Amino acid sequence: MKKTPAIDADELALFRQEIAGARAFKQDKIHFSRPTKKNTISTQAKKIKLEQAEFFFSDQYEPNIDSKAVLSYVKEGHDSFLAKQLRRGDFPPELILDLHGLNKEDTKAELVALISACKKQHIHCACVMHGIGLQVLKNKVPHYLVQHPDVIAMHQAPLEWGGKSAVLILIDLHLPHDPKY
């Protein structure tokens, strides 16, 4: 390791001569409030999601869906051909939601978030992967989706999108305040 050469007396005198009129300045830092912790924000966001999910989804509601048959649903007032189009894969999903490992409350929140994201991004079809497992979510997800006002159709996904462990849903993108509709 090399030592840096010491400053000789002439250079030090020259330096002191150059800074002779300088004075120390006062630091005027602005101290902002501490930012909110991320986990507090995520807790608040999770609480809001759960409140929104409770608004749309009830565990007590039992729609008229045959759990033993292939899942198929079209909202009243819409063309029943939509279910066949979903079954054939005419509507490829643009968003996929994987619910593996989630409980019912988190599932409700994620479904609300998915439908909201679809509406914001103008996505007509999405896939919800609920899995099979103990069939808790497999039975509950269709019951929740039927309750949401923006879901117009759903059908068990074709094999390329998950088969029996997934559901394809169609979202109504028409906004009620839009003068075109």
pLDDT tens digits along 64-73: 776 677 889 9
Q: What is the pLDDT of residues 26-35, one digit of tens each?
A: 777 777 776 6
Q: What is the pLDDT of residues 84-123, one digit of tens each?
A: 999 898 999 999 999 998 988 889 889 988 998 999 999 9
Query: Is it the case that residue 8 has pLDDT exceeding 50?
Result: yes
CA angle 131, 164, 50 (to 5 degrees): 40
DSSP letter at 66 equals -
Token pair for residue 24? 């120390």
The whole-chain average pLDDT of the chain stands at 82
> Which of the two residues, 91 and 3, has the higher pLDDT score?
91
The answer, as to whether pTM is greater than 0.85, is: no
Quote the pLDDT of residue 179: 43
